[in-house]
Structure 1
Amino acid sequence: MTSPSQKLDELGITLPPVAAPVAAYVPAARFGSQVWTSGQLPFVDGTLAVTGKVGAEVTAEIAKAQSRIAALNALAAAADVAGGIDKITRICKVTVFVASDSSFTGQPGVANGASELFGEVFGDAGVHVRSAVGVAALPLDAPVEIELVCETN
Structure 2
Amino acid sequence: MTRPTTDAPIPQGNYLAAKRHGDLVFTSGMTPRKAGVLQLEGPVKAQEPIESYKDAVILACSNALVAARNQLAGGEAVAAILSMTVFIAAEEGFAAHSKLADFASAYLAETLGPQGIGSRAAVGVATLPGNAPVEIQLVVAIG
**Would the TM-score normalized by the shorter structure come out above 0.5?**
yes
Q: How far is the alpha carbon of 1:60 from its aligned partner?
A: 2.0
Partner residue of 1:107? 97
2:88 counterpart of 1:98: yes
Residue type of the alignment partner of 1:94: M
Q: How far is the alpha carbon of 1:80 from its aligned partner?
A: 0.4
Partner residue of 1:49? 39
Identify unmatched segments of 5+ residues in structure 2: none
For residues 92 and 146 of structure 1, what CA distance do their matches in structure 2 show? Answer: 13
2:127 counterpart of 1:134: no
For residues 22 and 59 of structure 1, what CA distance do their matches in structure 2 show? Answer: 29
Q: How far is the alpha carbon of 1:92 from its aligned partner?
A: 0.9
Q: Residues 29 and 36 of structure 1 are in contact (CA less than 8 Å); yes or no, is this contact kept in structure 2?
A: yes
Pairwise CA RMSD: 2.2
Size of the alignment, in residue pairs? 143
Instruction: Select 1:24's aligned residue among 11, 14, 29.
Output: 14
Partner residue of 2:51? 61
**TM-score under structure 1 length normalisation:** 0.85
How many percent identity over aligned positions? 36
Q: Residues 12 and 36 of structure 2 are in contact (CA less than 8 Å); yes or no, is this contact kept in structure 1?
A: no
Deviations 1:64-102 (A, max 9, x none): 321111011001100001237961111110000000101
Q: How far is the alpha carbon of 1:45 from its aligned partner?
A: 3.0
Q: After alignment, is 94-103 or 52-61 more displaced?
A: 52-61
Residue type of the alignment partner of 2:39: A
Structure 1 segments of 4+ aligned residues over 6 angstroms from their partners: none
**TM-score under structure 2 length normalisation:** 0.90
Structure with greater proportional helix content: 1
Q: How far is the alpha carbon of 1:50 from its aligned partner?
A: 1.1
2:30 counterpart of 1:40: yes
Residue type of the alignment partner of 2:30: Q
